[in-house]
Amino acid sequence: MTIIQAIIISIIEGITEFLPISSTAHMKFANPLIGVAETPFTDMFEVVIQFAAILSVVVIFYRKFFDFKRTTFYLKLIIATIPALIVGAILKKQIDAALNNLVFIAWVMVAGGILLLFVDKLFTRNNIDDDAKISLPKAFVIGCFQCLSIVLPGLSRSAATIIGGMQQKLTRTLAAEFSFFLAVPTMFAASVKSFWDVYKDHPEVLVKDNYTILAVGAIVSFIVALIAVKSFIAYLQKHGFKAFGVYRIILGITILILLWKGIL
């Protein structure tokens, strides 16, 4: 992976991380188009720049995130993270196989897009607009929804957790905010695990040039995500999910055609 390729992938990640269109799918689709091979380093790179993008949430919502008087807020995040840690550990081989199957990811993109076309109509009586009203059981259920994005690459972690939040009667805005907060411990754990796996099994890729690429990618992803997350919340409050559903369907079908034609 070159610096230019890393910047391109990081821009894609920063834009798509908080949108319900699956940043993982976009990176997996973009890699072969720009000549990035699937290697242990690129797999780790994708996870780490996701975490870098998610750190933008800590900056934007720092007053909420670092309000240490709200201990139950942190407890809710921990409880919501537990299902993903368990599922990720138990189904690691199956998840890795799915991540390398572009046909599967493209079909999940289409199916997720169809779901998003109807989400706004499915949840019309949501009235929980304060995270203090999110109970521990509700946080756990939202965490279980997050697991769907782990076993179904291309579904979108953001989409799964936002829908989970709305299913638990959270407003669209609060569901999105809680989804962003939940991403911090989840992707921190994923980044540590990914780095450890590379360190243990492929230490040869941890050279100075790759550290530079990783640092550049993380910085670019973080900066782009700062802009994207604010724009997404503003759009979501006014318009909902339908446009994202249409986009997912179009992109998924396009990727399937490219795969069928042998272009990807």
pLDDT given at position 75: 94
What is the domain partition of the chain in residue ranges? 3-260
pLDDT given at position 34: 93
pLDDT given at position 72: 92
| 164 backbone φψ class: left, alpha, beta (φ>0; ψ -120 to 50) | alpha
pLDDT given at position 25: 92
Instruction: Report the distance separating Cα 147 and Cα 162, nearest Å.
Output: 12
Classify residue 95 as exposed, middle or buried by CB count within 10 Å of its CB (0-12, 13-18, 19+). middle
Mean pLDDT by 10 residues, the chain (264 residues): 94 92 92 89 91 91 86 93 92 88 95 92 85 93 94 92 93 90 90 85 82 94 90 82 94 94 83
Q: Give me the phi and psi of 84, to 5 degrees please.
A: -65, -40
pLDDT given at position 244: 93
pLDDT given at position 112: 94
pLDDT given at position 15: 93
pLDDT given at position 152: 93
Question: For residue 87, which amino acid is it?
Answer: V
Q: To the nearest 5 percent, what fractions of the chain are helix, strand and coil?
A: 80, 0, 20
Classify residue 31 as exposed, middle or buried by CB count within 10 Å of its CB (0-12, 13-18, 19+). buried
Instruction: Report the distance separating Cα 61 and Cα 180, nearest Å.
Output: 10
pLDDT given at position 204: 82
pLDDT given at position 208: 81
pLDDT given at position 200: 85
